[in-house]
Amino acid sequence: MIEQALSVREAIVQRRSIKLFNRQPVDRDDLMEILNEAAWAPNHKNREPWRFVVAVGEGLTKWQEVIKDFNMSKWKDLSPQALETQMKKLLGPGAVVFVIVPEDIRQKERLEDYAAASAFIQNAQLLAWDRGIGSCWKTPAYIEDPKIREVLGVQPGERIISMLQFGYFDVVPKGRERTPIEEKTTFFGEE
């Protein structure tokens, strides 16, 4: 557990996507505090273009059963080891938050809303990391399935942009090197 609050720079540079959680539950109040603080993300005209379906505690257990049943037909041909890996991924997180945005018919607003919700997600990941809680932004294909959308109460005109997993972990994965920013930068007006 991190003892002292990280600087913004430390949180950005040190945060890692956690893919293997240790099944320790995330406290509902801690998660709600993270989400409340993450809502300070920039969003055009303060539209706050997001809503959430949160699976924590007993709700997480119910979600895990839903998604396990949904995937079993796809997993039936997996080796025992591959099935065990899938089950660890499914059962490991201590909470799951589905981030849902409106699909505005106006392209500019739709892009602004997606960008704002993405900033929200980054804020949530950094705030969780500062508390010693890992996270991973997932976009599995099944979040677009009509059955899953119905289970989660996603309405027409809405889109799930993230299945954001939260949880505790035993090992921090090694970060990958990043391309030097100079290789991706040009300066306007300079030759």
The predicted pLDDT at position 88 comes to 84
Q: Are 127 and 38 in contact (CB under 8 A)?
A: yes
Residue 1: pLDDT over 60: no
Query: What HEC string does 126-165 produce?
Result: HHHHHCCCEEEEECCHHHHCHHHHHHHCCCCCEEEEEEEE
Quick one: which H or E segment has residue 79? none
Per-domain boundaries in the chain: 8-171
Residues with Cβ within 8 Å of residue 143, at least 6 apart in sequence: 98, 149, 160, 163
pLDDT of residue 3: 60
User: Lowest mean pLDDT: which of 19-23, 76-80, 159-163?
Assistant: 76-80
Residues 69-125: pLDDT tens digits?
888 888 888 888 888 888 888 889 999 999 999 999 999 999 999 999 999 999 999
Task: Pick the more confident residue, 130 or 71.
Answer: 130
pLDDT above 70 covers a percentage of the chain that reads 98
Give residue-wise pLDDT tens across range 141-159: 999 999 999 999 999 999 9
Does residue 23 have a pLDDT over 70? yes
Q: Under 8 Å CB-to-CB from 22, ≥6 apart: which residues?
A: 92, 167, 168, 169, 170
Higher per-residue pLDDT: 178 or 36:
36
Task: Name the token pair of 182.
Answer: 């100079």
Q: Tell me what pLDDT residue 92 has.
A: 92
- 32 pLDDT tier (thresholds 50, 70, 90): very high
In this predicted structure, the answer to whether residue 2 has a pLDDT above a threshold of 80 is no
Residue 126 to residue 24: CA distance in whole angstroms: 19
Is the domain spanning 8-171 CATH 3.40.109.10? The answer is yes
